Structures are given as C-alpha cells and as structure tokens.
Amino acid sequence: MSHPLRLSLLALAWFCPAGSTLAADVHLGMGFRVGEVTQSRAIVWTRITATATRNQTGHREPKKRTPRDRKFVPSQVPLGSRQGEIAGAAGEVRLHWKPAGDRPGGRTTDWVAVVPEHDYVHQFTIDGLKPAGTYEVTVEAREKSGARVSAARSGTFRTPAVADTPQDVTFTVVTGQSYWDLDNPDGYHIYPAMARLKPQFIVATGDTVYLDSEAPRARTVGLARYHWHRMYSLPRHVAFHRHVSGYWEVDDHDSWVNDGWPTKNSPWMLPLTFKQGFAIYREQVPMGKSTYRTVRWGRDLQIWMVEGRLYRSPNSMPDGPGKTIWGAEQMAWLKRTILASDASFRVLVSPTPIVGPDRSKGKNDNHSNAAFATEGNEFRNWTKQHKLENFFVCCGDRHWQYLSVDPVTGLREFSCGPASDKHAGGSPGRDPAIQPFHRVRGGFLSVRVSRSGGRPSISLKHHGVHGKVVNDYRQGGR
C-alpha cells in the first residue's frame, strides 16, 4: 500500500531549536512505547532527553485556546521554559528484548545515534517474535560511543495468538486527550484505571493532542513537537506504556487542524502545514508505514484501524457518490478483509463516528453527518447486506459516551468518550429510539473477548475516568 505523504523531517529542521545537551549523562524521560504488535513483529519508540523529568513548573498560557489570528507572530517563550517540555539530547540508544522468564540472553540491537532532525527519536522494528508470548524489553541510552549507559527503561508487551488458537484478550479505546483538561498533574485518571484491567493493548483513536485549539497553537514544528512531549512525558502515561502496547490512529487535531483535510486552507495554522503536522504525528507514535491496517488476536478477535484524514474529500464538497472519507482503495480493502475474516468477533475502531448521531449543527466531517451520508449509508447498508451480526464499531472523537444501534441496519457503535470529565460536552442529547446508553462524561471503553465452555463471548464496557463500569454490553459467540 502506498502512502501519499513521504515527507522528510530533515526539511523541517530550521523550525526547531537545537535542544541538545553537552552533559555526559543523557536520559529517557519519555520512556518508551511499543506499537503495531503482530504475531512476529513490533515497533519500539523512544526518545533521548536532556533530563530525567519534564519541566513541571514552567510557563503556561493563561487561556486554554488561542484566537484564530491570521498573522503569524513567533512565540517569545522558549520551548525549554514551557511547562511540560522535556528537551531532547544527542546520544545513542539500543534495545534488548527476550521472552519473559527466559534465562539471560535474548537479542540486542546495535547502538543507534539520534539526531535533532528527527527530534532525537528512534523507532526500532523487531522481528522474529513468537505468537501468544510475553516479551521483556529494555531501552538503554548513552551520551556517545564508548560512554557508559546513563539511562535504561524496562517493561513488557504481549503478542497475539495465531488465528486458529483461542486467546482471551482485553483492550481499551480512548480519545480526546486535551492537555488543558487534564484531571491530574501526573496524567489522566484513566491510565491507572486502564492498567488495573491488564489489557494486552490500547487503541488511541485520535485527538491524542490538540495542535490547533490548545495554547500554544502549534504553528511551528517546535511547538507541534512540544504538544507531544508534554502529553507523553506525564508520569502516569510513561508508566502505563511500560506494559501495554498500542495502535495509534490519527485524526484532525493531532495531524493539523479541526475537521481538516489535506488541501484545507487554514491560515491560522501557518507556517505549519498539514504535511508537516502529519509527518510529526508519524515521528511521535510507533505506527509504522501503514495508516490503515488489521490485526488478528487469536481465534476469536480481529480488529481494524482506519485512516480518516489523508484520503478524504473536502468536507465542504457537495455530498454524492464521489465524496469520501476513506477513499476507494481503503474502502475496498476494508470490505475485502472483513469478509475474509473467520474471527468470532470483528471490531472496527474508527477515529470518527459511523452511526452517531452527532450534533446536527456545525458538524460535517464524519459518516454520521449529512455531509458524508452517501458513503456512510453505503457502508452501513453493506454490513446489513452481509449479515455481520458479530461486527461492532468502536469510535472516538465525540466528547460523550454512547451505545447506538442504527435503526436501519442494526449496526452497533460504541463511543469511548473523552479522556476526562472536564473535556466532556457537546452532546445532541440521547435519542432513546436508538441509544440504549448515553452519558456526557469522560472515561474509556474496554473490550474483552474470552471463552467459557468452548463458547466465545464479547463484552464491551464503558468506564468512568476512575474505571467504574457505567455500561456493559455482552454477546455470545456464533
């Protein structure tokens, strides 16, 4: 599958301060994150930092949002003086991994130098993993070749079983990580709450950061990266990802601008462009090459993650057969792979709603809106045509939780809700005809697939921010 944005971050370097250090000790203040785990492969993301912890007491804008000024005025506050910033540092990293519980051994990569052009980030790709295993990983950092190791971070991750092997699986779904709406200075309450469930993985559906609508507006590469630094240096988030891998999806706020598409004119974001914002997204998460993909987790579960920004038509384009969010190639791939799957349960995780309902006023960027009704109806009707009874949609983007059942096709959609109660709002209200559950609060969604007496079942639960179950939907296997 080809990718339309092969943008080298080397071309962005002039936007960024050097941010390096001459000190002998370098650190791993953002820990590491494991992503895109399959039966045999994973990506490990890490970043060398100049300090072990973030700047917790630096400058913070007095307002949550910055006006949409069209004249670019460079920020007078140095990045290093901002609350939540953690500067990068030149140095070298290496990765060691082995099956958990094994005697000393395993595999170790060569040392790799990190560079400012890539924000001192390195993403290791590891192969040769075995299905249904638990792996221990250790990332090490040093200042230069021959220097002592001055920082190390260790953790674990788990791999999926092959398609003919039953495997009990739990995963969580999140969205709407507004830094200005944090409910704890160490990170969101949802992270320790999710960790108590011991999920195999998390799916972040997008709006992981808010480049455009949270101060400081990310109008340079340096400020865009800062949004990522302050979100993933929070202690709770670092601790969570030591033992929980992830699959990241991109949406509008974390790629560039609200309700955006590649050719949108948004002068209030310039000089940062959509291509630059999207390239930084790929730099800051362990996503790999494919922005839409599917992963099988044992006999009973297959998940799909879709791409909703790169291939979309302008939201302002009149609706009709030629208007799309997913694009023809992705739509064909999605239908083909869903029908080819023999998993007991199939779960599509979408950055934006497919069923809704959404607000009728001012919203025109997802499949539940009138602006994309043609493609939305096509896909929903396709699920009914093929009698996908054990097929579910989990979505992000909306700032409230719900379970909706499409009245025409019966397609069920579960909205995970925003990461904090403070970030909740905007609901059109509950439609009792199609919504068994509706709640304007924050939290997350958990999905568990398991077997009892040889019969598979699925449970999709809405949780509050501290983990309390507020809605529980269950269905047995076929």
pLDDT digits (tens, 9 = 90+) for 30-40: 999 999 999 99
At 468, the amino acid letter reads: K
Superfamily holding 169-208+285-476: Alkaline phosphatase D (PhoD) (3.60.21.70)
pLDDT of the residue at 10: 37
pLDDT at 17: 39
Q: How many CB atoms lie within 10 A of CB 370?
A: 12
Q: How far apart are CA 21 and CA 29, in angstroms?
A: 14
Per-residue pLDDT tens, the chain, 478 aa: give them. Answer: 444 333 334 333 333 333 433 346 999 999 999 999 999 999 999 999 999 999 999 999 888 877 777 778 878 899 999 999 999 999 999 999 999 987 778 999 999 999 999 999 999 999 999 999 999 999 999 999 999 999 999 999 999 999 999 999 999 999 999 999 999 999 999 999 999 999 999 999 999 999 999 999 999 999 999 999 999 999 999 999 999 999 999 999 999 999 999 999 999 999 999 999 999 999 999 999 999 999 999 999 999 999 999 999 999 999 999 999 999 999 999 999 999 999 999 999 999 999 999 987 889 999 999 999 999 999 999 999 999 989 999 999 999 999 999 999 999 999 999 999 999 999 999 999 999 999 999 999 999 999 999 999 999 999 999 999 999 999 985 4
| CA-wise closest residue to 49 among 93, 89, 91, 94 | 89
Do the two domains 19-158 and 169-208+285-476 of this chain adopt the same fold? no
Pairing of strands 391-395, 345-350: parallel
**88 neighbors 114 (Cβ within 8 angstroms):** yes
What is the SS3 assignment for 195?
Answer: helix
Is the CATH code 2.60.40.10 the one for domain 19-158? yes
HSE of 405, CA atoms in CB hemisphere, 13 A: 10
**pTM of the prediction?**
0.94
Token representation of residue 70: 């069209």
Query: Contact, 449 vs 439, CB < 8 A?
Result: no
Check: CB of residue 347 under 8 Å from CB of residue 301: yes
Q: pLDDT tens digits for 212-233?
A: 999 999 999 999 999 999 999 9
pLDDT at position 75: 82
Give the angle subtended at the CA of 419 by the CAs of 118 and 77, to the nearest 5°. 45
- Contacts of 422-426 with C-beta under 8 Å, sequence gap 24+, read 422/178, 422/181, 422/183, 423/176, 423/178, 423/181, 423/399, 424/399, 424/400, 425/399, 425/400, 426/359, 426/398, 426/399, 426/400
Give CA angle at 203 (197, 208), nearest 5°.
115
- Residue at token pair 């299905």: 131
* Domain coordinates in residue numbering, the chain: 19-158, 169-208+285-476
Pairing of strands 455-463, 469-476: antiparallel
